[in-house]
């Protein structure tokens, strides 16, 4: 049996949920071709195929999600090693079981859950994990289930009512209350300032209240998703310092949230060390003692580059391409948000590189990517294109709209798809 046939028999299509809010991608067994071993989590494993080998074997007629477990493990090791505190993975970003296991293999031991379902998922897969319920507004049954059924002790809050709710549903069990501080609108690609968080004066009052009624208390904030400015954390920490001073009590936990960025075609952020250095400076100015724990909640920074999707061209009309995935599928961030995902043809295609308008497969005219893809001029119907960096929210936001609810999932050995600056012929403007 050829290697290509071996790859093909380990992939299968299955239906995705016909609703937004999936908890996982569709199950598929690991591809194993009997190639030389790689190491994942310290154990020898069969060497995985490349994206090109999977496409050649399967000729996928539906989107093919390509997961890179070695990239996931390396990203977690890098982040855990760099950050001077506890790293809480934001489960909502990509809740696939294979992702959670690879992050665990890379050293992540804490998980930021935002629903009862995420709590149950993590506890079922990783019994020894530390789970923190960091959604500031929760249903009573979710609090009770997390605390009483799964041993969760830390809960984010942003109001006195939420504090009372957590205490009542915990039923006398010791809890930690993490007060979410509202930040002014910032410069992150996804601004998160409008929905959660207490204004500074109220946050100080809530911190005093949490100190009086909880086993431990903390202060948390979020600068926004895909924040390219390390200084945003220093400014947020300055505001947090004023809240702590007004409260008159030092928190047991200071959580600097998520927002850590990754490269896209139009934005290559500073290195992680610059963000960590900014956080260190900001924390040092607060003069907190060694008993205050430092937390962060990365999502995108750990998983974005570890997953791609291979799409097929359904039709070419001049400088426009219709492909079999779009904004109702795994490319929602390429719609109105305008994320510029790195793209490349799977096989060599001739011609100079040029910009193409890209449409998704549904009958909705809104299914159109905001920014063009730069690809070789010879591309046409039947060709496959790999779209990188969809590991963050790509599968989590998929829908089954219009019946486009099928895909394949494979684990591959390739590194991340390079951004435009590293792809010959690619452009951004």
**In angstroms, rounded to a whole number, what is the distance separating the alpha carbons of residues 187 and 177?**
28
DSSP per position, 89-151:
EEGGG---HHHHHHHHHTT--EEEE-SHHHHHHHHHH-TT-EEEE--SS--HHHHHIIIIIH-
> Could you give the CA distance from residue 30 to residue 54 in angstroms, rounded to a whole number?
12
| b/e per residue 184-213 (b: at least 16 CB within 10 A) | eebebbeebbeebbbebebbbbbbebbbee
Name the residue among 331, 343, 339 with its Cα closest to residue 426.
Answer: 343
* Annotation marks residue 227 as catalytic: no
Name the active-site residue from 147, 217, 227, 363. 363
Say if residues 143 and 176 touch (Cβ distance below 8 Å). Answer: no
Distances (CA, A) of 127 to 107, 124, 176: 15, 6, 20
**All residues at 6 or more sequence positions from 115 whose CB lies less than 8 Å from its CB, including other chains:** 92, 135, 142
**Catalytic annotation, residues:** 363
């Amino acid at each position: 049996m050829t290697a290509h046939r071996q790859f093909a028999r380990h992939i299968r299509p299955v239906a995705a949920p016909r609703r937004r809010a999936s908890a996982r991608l569709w199950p598929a067994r690991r591809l194993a071709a009997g190639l030389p071993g790689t190491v994942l989590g310290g154990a020898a494993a069969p060497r995985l195929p490349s994206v090109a080998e999977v496409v050649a074997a399967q000729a996928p007629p539906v989107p093919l999600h390509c997961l890179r477990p070695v990239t996931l493990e390396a990203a977690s090791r890098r982040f855990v090693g760099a950050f001077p505190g506890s790293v809480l993975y934001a489960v909502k970003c990509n809740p696939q079981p294979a992702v959670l296991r690879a992050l665990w293999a890379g050293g992540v031991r804490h998980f930021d859950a935002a629903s009862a379902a995420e709590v149950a998922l993590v506890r079922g897969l990783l019994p020894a994990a530390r789970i923190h319920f960091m959604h500031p507004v929760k249903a009573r049954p979710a609090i009770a289930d997390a605390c009483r059924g799964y041993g969760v002790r830390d809960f984010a809050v942003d109001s006195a009512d939420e504090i009372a709710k957590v205490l009542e549903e915990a039923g006398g069990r010791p809890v930690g209350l993490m007060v979410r501080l509202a930040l002014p609108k910032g410069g992150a690609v996804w601004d998160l300032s409008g929905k959660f968080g207490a204004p500074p004066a109220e946050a100080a009052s809530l911190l005093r209240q949490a100190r009086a009624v909880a086993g431990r208390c903390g202060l948390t904030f979020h600068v926004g998703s895909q924040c390219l400015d390390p200084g945003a954390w220093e400014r947020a920490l300055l505001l947090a310092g004023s809240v702590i001073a007004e409260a008159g009590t030092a928190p047991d936990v200071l959580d600097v949230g998520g927002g850590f960025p990754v490269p896209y075609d139009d934005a290559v952020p500073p290195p992680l060390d610059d963000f960590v250095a900014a956080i260190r400076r900001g924390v040092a100015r607060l003069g907190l003692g060694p008993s205050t724990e430092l937390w962060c909640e990365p999502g995108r920074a750990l998983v974005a580059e570890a997953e791609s999707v291979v799409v097929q061209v359904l039709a070419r009309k001049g400088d426009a391409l219709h492909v079999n995935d779009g904004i109702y599928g795994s490319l929602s961030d390429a719609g109105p948000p305008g994320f510029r995902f790195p793209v490349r043809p799977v096989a060599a295609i001739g011609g100079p590189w040029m910009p193409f308008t890209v449409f998704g497969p549904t009958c909705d005219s809104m299914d159109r990517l905001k920014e063009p893809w730069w690809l070789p001029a010879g591309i046409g119907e039947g060709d496959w294109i790999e779209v990188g960096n969809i590991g963050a929210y790509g599968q989590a936001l998929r829908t089954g709209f219009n019946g486009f609810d099928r895909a394949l999932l494979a684990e591959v050995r390739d590194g991340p798809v390079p951004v435009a600056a590293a792809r010959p012929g690619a452009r951004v403007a």
